[in-house]
Amino acid sequence: MFCHGKDLAGGNLAPAAGGAAFVAKWQSRPVRELFGYVQTRMPYHSPNNLTPAQNADVMAYMLQYSKVPAGAKDFVGDLSLKGDPKRGEAFFTEAQAERGRQAFNRNCALCHTTADSKLTPQQVNEAPLPNSFAAPFLGRTYYGKVLYPTVYHLFTKLQSMPAFGNESITNNTRADIIAHILDRNGFPAGKTELKPDVAAMGQMMLNEPGFEHVFNGKDFTNIKFVLGTRCGPEPGGCARTEPQDTLQVMPGGTIYCKCDLHGYWYYSAKKLLNFTVRFQHKFIKPEGWVGDEDIYMGGGGWLMFIQDTNMQGFGKSIEIEGRVRDMADIFFLGGGKGKFTYDNAAKTRVVKPFDWNDIEIVSKDGQVKTYVNGVLSSTITEHDYPAGFFGMQVEGSPTEWRNIRIRPE
């Protein structure tokens, strides 16, 4: 506290760290923001050198000196935000958000602010540019479309700034500023810093509360494999339960499937009955392909309600077809029954044979609707399958999947 003086009143070296001036500066901001600043920026000569517990004690003294009433429990500097109702996943750290706040003030504050917005959602959507990047800014829509569906879209916006020269800051600094904006829009901090990786940022969804990623983009945590034709998983069966070189994690958070045999993989964290799943699916064009792309008949699909009592072949499940020509058709596997309808003309119009297709599957109250690139393509009107696992079919044709996220209902 040398720089702030014995009485915390500040001076030539540093501002007040207690008392009326200190309270006036911090009273409208959350305690965790003050703690994050102290933890990452202080002491000046060796920032981040004290433990969270030591900084918690320092902050307690600052608050006591400022006549903030004491509570029944010690302040422990816990920034885990457990129970804090946040609106998405964690893409940044507390320290990065604090760096971003300072970078925003240096480079953006002449024209913009991240102060709490008093604008209504309607005003945010109608204004040429809202005066604050704080909530509800990231929910902004334009002619019915969300402007910032992912972190990548926010990143492209910031690439046009600052006004005095967009090459005056680095993309790493932009990532820090995005961390600050995310924090001011109610997103939680985590353990990993946001990097200016456009492929990864494109899979960081900003307006999908309640969704969780099936695939974390790094490894096969919570994913299990049954790879082998007409065969149950090891140890009782002959199907492989390890991906080996059949499936690989690729840069940018993509799963590449060589798919040199038949089988499937599934999200093993929970069985589901009512849920929404969203992902992107793409077939790899065969070398030397000639002719119309839409006649490609490579195999693949998406499996619903996989039962762990019969996992042979493709198991007892509902298959939603992934092939180009009959994408979203329905097959009831393993003895289950149901009824469905499909719009072949609509899905034929929108399927992209060797490009990424956006797939959404909504299972609710005994019905399942499948949307291909935003178009309703098939509807299961009734079925008798209980809750089960969601998975992807491996059926001999090289395939990629990415951005797989699910929301249990």
pLDDT digits (tens, 9 = 90+) for 271-287: 999 999 999 999 999 99
CA 224, 230, 231, 232 torsion-angle sign: positive
Q: Is the pLDDT of residue 29 over 60?
A: no
pLDDT of 151: 97
Q: How far is CA 126 from the centre of its chain?
A: 27
Most confident of 7-11, 70-74, 220-224: 220-224
Tokens for 65? 């000196």
Band (pLDDT 50/70/90 cuts) for residue 76 is: low
Q: How high is the pLDDT of residue 127?
A: 67
Average pLDDT over residues 308-322: 86
pLDDT at 27: 64
Query: Rounded mean pLDDT of 62-89?
Result: 64
pLDDT in tens, 290-303: 989 989 999 999 99
Determine the Cα–Cα distance for residues 140 and 326; give it in Å rounded to an integer: 36
The answer to whether residue 13 scores a pLDDT higher than 70 is no
C-alpha to C-alpha distance for 281 and 359, rounded to whole angstroms: 7
Q: Which CATH architecture has domain 94-201?
A: Orthogonal Bundle (1.10)
Distance, CA of 95 to CA of 191 (rounded, Å): 10
Task: Give the homologous superfamily in CATH for domain 212-408.
Answer: Exo-inulinase; domain 1 (2.60.120.560)
pLDDT tens digits for 195-253?
A: 999 989 999 999 888 888 999 888 999 999 999 877 778 777 888 999 999 999 998 88
CB atoms within 10 A of CB 284: 15
Q: How confident is the model at residue 36 (pLDDT cuts 50, 70, 90)?
A: low
Q: Is the pLDDT of residue 91 over 50?
A: yes
Write down the domain spans for the chain.
2-65, 94-201, 212-408
SS3 109: coil
Instruction: Select the more confidently predicted residue: 75 or 239.
Output: 239
Mean pLDDT across 172-200: 95
pLDDT tens digits for range 123-164: 777 767 777 899 888 988 877 788 999 999 999 999 999 988
**Residue 217: what pLDDT?**
87
Residues 6+ apart with CB under 8 A from 377: 327, 328, 342, 343, 346, 347, 350, 370, 371
pLDDT of residue 166: 86
**Amino acid at site 195:** K
Give the span between the Cα atoms of 360 and 365, in whole angstroms.
17
Of the two residues 64 and 320, the one the predictor is more confident about is 320
Helix (H, G, I), strand (E, B) or coil at 105: helix
Give the tokens for residue 379: 């509807």
Q: Mind giving me the DSSP string for 111-166?
A: T-B-SPP---HHHHHHSSS-SB-STTGGG-EETTEES-SBHHHHHHHHTT--TT-T
Least confident of 115-129, 158-172, 187-201, 354-368: 115-129
